[in-house]
Structure 1
Amino acid sequence: MNVDLTKPKVPTQAPKWLGTYGKYLWPKLTAYLNKSNKIIRADEYLIQQYCSAYDIYRQAYEDLQKHGIQQKVYKTSLSPVDGSVVSRDFQGFKKNPAYNMMSDSLGRLNTIGKQLGLSPQARSKLMELAGPEEDKKSVAESMKEFFKS
């Protein structure tokens, strides 16, 4: 089967529906992945999920930077007569909900990243799964190197 190596395996143009940060990451990620012989067109949905999770991660991170990791909680008491504020009592702090969004997105990025071979451990496992021809060639080459020294 002849494969055109000049044609990208996954599109380098980001889907229009992706958010700003996802669109920014897409061409960088696809350029890297298109160089791999392990990626196929069917993996495009993983790249979409990865870029979408990255977009959510960045938005949540910005919210944390703007509003802090925790937020003050107040209990407001209203007048039964006219509905005006009688008192506003400090109750403590609550975790910014953006923290959970950031954490969830980071988990998704790690999971999908492993599937795409974006971590050292995942790349190592992908190398172990290489086809028999590649294994024989690399073993033969390594044996030549071993006996030359």
Structure 2
Amino acid sequence: MVEKATEDLQPLQMSPPNYMKGTIAGRAWQRITPILRQSTIIKNADRSTVEALCSAIALYRIGFDDVQENGIQTPIYKSVQNNRGEIIDRDFIGFKKNPAVSTMDAAIRQIRSLSSELGLTPTSRASLLSLTTDSDDDDVPSLADVLSGGDGW
């Protein structure tokens, strides 16, 4: 039913948008689009969702690289100065979280949500597959009828 309603839409383009070419997001696009094109549901109209997913993957990877380089937390020191303002010692006062950890956390949440929308999780694939199976019930309007305000619900 959904396949029929979306058959007139253009398939998702294989090449990433120009601004993504040569970036982590562009490489993510090249890995994801062949999978999405196997589904006849995801179309070029869904491009902004795919762009958002690829951007979230890039943000996650950038955050990951920063954490690998700088760790998940950094020590904090307080400078001790003499009466002339010269630093004579540094006292350790604790740790602070690397901001890249928060970036990674937000990116993971976006990746999960967008992956689900695009049918890239087992649960969402099962849901999309149930939408594409042909029904013998002719009384059920097509998605195109519902969206166009036809005889649908």
Counterparts of 2:94 and 2:13 in 1: how far apart (Å)? 49
Provide TM-score, normalisation by structure 1. 0.78
Are the structure 2 counterparts of residues 76 and 16 from structure 1 closer, same or farther at C-alpha, using a change threshold of 3 Å? farther
Match of 1:31 among 29, 34, 37: 34
Unaligned runs of 5+ in 1: 137-149
Alignment correspondent of 1:144? none
Count of matched residue positions in the alignment of Structure 1 and Structure 2: 130
Counterparts of 1:17 and 1:78 in 2: how far apart (Å)? 49
Provide TM-score, normalisation by structure 2. 0.76
Cα-to-partner distance string for 1:68-101 (whole Å, 9 max, x where unaligned): 11111111234453x4323211111111111111
Alignment correspondent of 2:109? 107
Counterparts of 1:68 and 1:15 in 2: how far apart (Å)? 33
Offset at 1:103?
0.8
Offset at 1:52?
0.2
Unaligned runs of 5+ in 2: 137-153
Map 1:11-26; keep pairs closer than 5 Å: 11-18=13-20, 20-26=23-29
Alignment correspondent of 1:57? 60
Counterparts of 1:113 and 1:54 in 2: how far apart (Å)? 11
RMSD: 2.2
